[in-house]
């Protein structure tokens, strides 16, 4: 998961505070030392860490916290607020031009994910009802134009290119003309990158900027490169002036330092995050939701948004009724699994549920098509009675089901266990819903 190491350490440290009845200054200081180390290990910029910890410390040793009945909770709330603040506080959106087309210029080093992000962003905007045009200005990297065309094709978004013999400035200008005459209200310019920042690259980007006056210059940086990404951001911002950052590869094994430092160092907001290689793996960045995820408080809002896109409401309603009446059985499980599959990898979903992010047994749950088919076969080999009431599944029944479905007994066992876990999870959802209806706050 994103920020795995950091999240675990912060949650441990803050969890210890929570379990204490009263806090004194030393408790807070000790905890802040651990928070500091955790942030440094996550590759957060040293200055940023220092400032952050000082701010939290100052607020946490205040009278209000010390005298409160739940000082630990209070400190966690402060850390959450300061983390949110660190990442820019509120969501930073693209500012669209009053007179279309809105021109968005993507810049960044080679391999950061510009071309992919160009496509993803086009896809995202298309879903919002825009008519984007992708413009291929990377005339140096072999196959960059082709790559953009492939991406555009997949998303059914037009791509404007003039081959690799024209100057990028001309291509950008012609691209905008093309957009004007073809009713495209957003132009996304994919520019060339280099392995390192050099003057030639910056000059070219500056030329494009001067000529086409983009409404948004978005810098694409690779979160896996940690502090380097932040240095790159600083350099680009100084030389070119950027409006925001797209942080890619947050799905990878990143420690998260870039996400936590870049706003503070450059004063420019992260606008989007890349969460995978697939073309719909780009999300708007919400600092508050990310802070909650880091602290294991879940991200229910993102989960709801995802669910609204992926879930068939009618089926969900039927399922809800069944769960309420305790009628949820294996066939429903199958339906539900298919819907969950639409949501994406299950471990990503788990991170969004409060209290679930640290759950070890759920961590490795994931479904792929093959597994869905296998599960289907197992469920279909059960009798009606067994599907209704899995508790009657003794060893000989399980053996029969494994034989019937061409699977192994341990696979049947695993499925039954997953079923029980899902039921348990649903109970938790039910409780969550109840407490929300009561107007209680989620912890």
Q: Per the annotation, where are the binding residues for GTP? A: 108-115, 190-194, 248-251
What DSSP string describes 144-166? HHHHHHHHHHHHT--EE-BTBSS
The least distance separating ligand GDP from the CB of residue 403, rounded to whole angstroms, comes to 40
Burial 339-352, CB ≥16 within 10 A → b, else e: ebbebbebbbbbbb
Q: 382 is written with which tokens?
A: 């059960």
Binding status of residue 248 toward ligand GDP by CB under 6 A: yes
Residue 193 engages ligand GDP in binding (rule: CB under 6 A):
yes
- Residue 375, number of CB atoms within 10 A of its CB: 24
Give dist(CA 145, CA 387) in Å, integer: 53
> What are the binding residues?
108-115, 190-194, 248-251
Shortest distance in whole angstroms from residue 429 CB to ligand GDP: 29
What is the size of the binding site for ligand GDP (CB under 6 A)? Answer: 18
The Cβ of residue 272 has, within 10 Å, a number of other Cβ atoms equal to: 23
Backbone φ and ψ of 63, nearest 5°:
-60, -45
Residue 265 class from Cβ within 10 Å (0-12 exposed, 13-18 middle, 19+ buried)?
Answer: middle
Per residue, the 3-state secondary structure of 343-398, as one string, reads HCCHHHHHCCCCCCCCCHHHHCCCCCHHHHHHHHHHHHCCCHHHHHCHHHCCHHHH
Considering the complex, what minimum distance in angstroms separates the CB of residue 421 from ligand GDP? 28
**Of the two residues 147 and 336, which places its CB atom closer to ligand GDP in the complex?**
147
| Helices assigned H by DSSP within 90-217 | 114-127, 144-155, 168-181, 199-212
Does residue 253 belong to the site contacting ligand GDP (CB under 6 A)? no
Residue choice 72, 113, 269, 354 for contact with ligand GDP (CB under 6 A): 113
Nearer Cβ to ligand GDP, position 71 or 274? Answer: 274
- Minimum Å distance from CB 165 to ligand GDP? 20
Q: For ligand GDP, which stretch binds (CB under 6 A), given 104-112, 157-165, 303-311, 434-442?
A: 104-112
Nearer to ligand GDP, 257 or 276 (CB): 276
Per rule CB under 6 A, is residue 123 in the interface with ligand GDP? no
Q: Hey, which residues between 214 and 243 contact ligand GDP (CB under 6 A)?
A: none
**From candidates 89, 110, 207, 347, binder to ligand GDP by CB under 6 A:** 110
Q: How far is CA 116 from CA 169, 250, 285, in A?
A: 21, 14, 17
The token duo for 421 is 């876990």
Per-residue binding string, ligand GDP, 61-80, x by CB under 6 A, is --------------------
Q: Which window, 276-284, 314-322, 422-430, 431-439, contacts ligand GDP (CB under 6 A)?
A: 276-284
- Residue 369 CB contacts under 8 Å (≥ 6 apart), including other chains: none
Work out whether 249 is an interface residue with ligand GDP (CB under 6 A).
yes
Cα 295 to Cα 221: distance, rounded to the nearest angstrom: 24
Residue 286 · residue 91 · CB < 8 Å: yes
Q: How far is the CB of 34 from ligand GDP (least distance, A)?
A: 30
- Of 84 and 248, which CB lies nearer to ligand GDP in the complex structure? 248
List interacting residues with ligand GDP (CB under 6 A).
108, 110-116, 193, 248-249, 251-252, 274-277, 281
């Amino acid at each position: 998961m994103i920020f795995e190491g950091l999240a675990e350490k912060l949650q441990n440290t803050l969890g210890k505070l929570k379990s204490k009845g009263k806090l004194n200054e030393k408790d807070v200081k000790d905890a802040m030392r651990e928070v500091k180390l955790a942030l440094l290990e996550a590759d957060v910029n040293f200055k940023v860490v220092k400032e952050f910890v000082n701010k939290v410390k100052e607020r946490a040793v205040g009278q209000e916290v010390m005298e409160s009945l739940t000082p630990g909770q209070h400190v966690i709330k402060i850390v959450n607020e300061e983390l949110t603040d660190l990442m820019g506080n509120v969501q930073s959106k693209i500012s669209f031009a009053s007179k279309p087309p809105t021109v968005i210029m993507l810049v960044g080093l080679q391999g950061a994910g510009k071309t992919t992000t160009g496509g993803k962003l086009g896809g995202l905007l298309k879903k919002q009802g825009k008519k984007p045009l992708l413009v291929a200005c990377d005339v140096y990297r072999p196959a960059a134009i082709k790559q953009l065309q492939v991406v555009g094709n997949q998303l059914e978004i037009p791509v404007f290119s003039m081959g690799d013999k024209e100057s990028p400035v001309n291509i950008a200008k012609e691209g905008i003309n093309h957009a004007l005459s073809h009713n495209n209200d957003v132009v996304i310019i994919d520019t060339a990158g280099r392995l390192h920042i050099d003057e030639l690259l910056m000059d070219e980007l500056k030329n494009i900027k001067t000529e086409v006056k983009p409404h948004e210059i978005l810098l694409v940086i690779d979160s896996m490169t940690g502090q380097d990404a932040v240095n790159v951001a600083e350099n680009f911002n100084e030389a070119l002036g950027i409006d925001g950052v797209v942080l890619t590869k947050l799905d990878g094994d990143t420690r998260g330092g870039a996400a936590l430092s870049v706003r503070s160092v450059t004063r420019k907001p992260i606008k989007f995050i890349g969460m995978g290689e697939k073309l719909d793996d780009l999300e708007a960045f919400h600092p508050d939701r990310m802070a909650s995820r880091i602290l294991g408080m879940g991200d229910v809002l993102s989960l709801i948004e995802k669910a609204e896109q992926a879930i068939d409401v009618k089926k969900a309603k039927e399922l809800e009724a069944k769960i309420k009446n305790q009628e949820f059985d294996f066939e429903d499980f199958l339906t539900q699994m298919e819907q969950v599959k639409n949501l994406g990898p299950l471990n990503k979903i788990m991170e969004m549920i409060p209290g679930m992010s640290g759950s070890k047994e759920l961590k490795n749950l994931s479904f792929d098509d093959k597994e869905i088919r296998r599960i289907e076969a197992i469920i279909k080999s059960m009798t009606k009675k067994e599907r209704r009431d899995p508790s009657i599944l003794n060893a000989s029944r399980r053996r029969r089901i494994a034989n019937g479905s061409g699977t192994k007994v341990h696979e049947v066992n695993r499925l039954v266990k997953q079923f029980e876990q899902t039921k348990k999870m649903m109970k938790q959802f039910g409780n969550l819903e109840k407490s929300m209806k009561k107007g209680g706050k989620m912890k």
